Amino acid sequence: MPLVVWRFSDGKAGHDNQTRGLAEALARLRPTETHTLNPLPPAAALRGWLLGRLPCWNDLPAPNVLLGAGHRTHLSLLAARRTRGGKVVVLMRPSLPLGLFDLCLIPEHDAPPSRPNVLITRGALNRLQPSATLDPQQGLFLIGGPSEHFGWDDAALRQSIMALVAADPAIQWTLTTSRRTPPGFLEGLSSLADMRLTVVPVAATGPDWLPSQLARAGQAWVTSDSVSMVYEALTAGATVGILDVPRKRASRISRGLDRLAADGWVTSFADWQERPYLHRPPGVFNEAERCARWIVERWRG
């Protein structure tokens, strides 16, 4: 019998990337039948959870595992378990008490408590897989933009990119941006582009563009505000460098990056300047598979 997974999607790309990554990892371990559902309106989900009656999903096979990420999915997860059964897995720290869920997958930078139903992860899960086709002569720059926790410095970032491109003439570089990247950054970068640096703005990329690039790039440099891309690059197996942008204050994001650097997973640009060398990842980085194995091994059935 296949493992029946109900995956609740709130429509946010970052949340979907996490739950799809876990659902796909489960499917690689055992036969799986996955159904993607929209969360119910909060009032309807609350009624279903409290009363144990919710006819809208009666045509679906009863779930073994219910997955959700994001506050909008939490009540629907609990209502689905109450009415149809299964075990609830919530990704990221939930807005409701942890004890309501069967398993909480919480990044270590959120300082989760030690509990039997909490599995601490290194960053957010994703859909990437370790690549067997990494090319040491292919490099990738992943550029973010100003955020709640980070400021921006166009000139300093362009200088860092110039130094990296000049350091090794054998490497062909590709640079892409995000929707947060200030327009002036690309305007100032156009004069730097040459035969070894190809600029691909985010508007020119599709949903499969970044995974395909990460499957080939032997090294990736990511701005420190783009933490999800750091974890995706690590999952693909690249050597990963961090392009520093100004920190507005110490935060859980910056603490997580500092921990990765201390453990040898990433190299800061400041460290690279002292010694032009990128740390090789100390092991395989695949949090989606690790969490999927936890689920399969403990919830056999």
CATH label, 135-274, candidates 3.40.50.720, 1.10.3720.10, 1.20.140.10, 3.40.50.2000:
3.40.50.2000
**Residue whose structure tokens are 């970052």:** 14
Are residues 85 and 115 in contact, defined by beta-carbon separation less than 8 angstroms?
A: no
Residues found in the chain: 301
* Listed residue (25, 234, 265, 250) closest to 148, CA to CA: 250
Residues 6+ apart with CB under 8 A from 116: none
Fold match flag (3-127+288-298 vs 135-274): yes
CATH number of 3-127+288-298: 3.40.50.2000
Express each pLDDT in 218-275 by its tens digit. Answer: 999 999 999 999 999 999 999 999 999 999 888 888 888 999 999 999 999 999 999 9
**Whole-prediction pTM value?**
0.92
- Quick check: 286 pLDDT over 80? yes
What pLDDT, in 10s, does the model give residues 85-120?
A: 999 999 999 999 999 999 999 999 888 999 999 999
Domain ranges for the chain: 3-127+288-298, 135-274
The three-point CA angle 3-9-14 to 5° equals 110
Region 168-185: what's the mean pLDDT? 93
* Tokens of residue 33, six digits: 């039948």
pLDDT digit string (tens) for 132-156?
A: 999 999 999 999 999 988 999 999 9
User: Residue 191 has what pLDDT?
Assistant: 65
Does residue 218 contact residue 136 with C-beta atoms inside 8 Å?
yes
pLDDT of residue 188 exceeding 80, the answer is no
Q: Rounded to an integer, what distance in angstroms lies between the CA atom of residue 179 and that of residue 191?
A: 21
| DSSP character at residue 127 | S
Q: What six digits make up the tokens of 119?
A: 């599995």
Bridge partner residues of 36 (DSSP): 7
The per-residue pLDDT for 137 is 96
Can you give the pLDDT at residue 184?
87
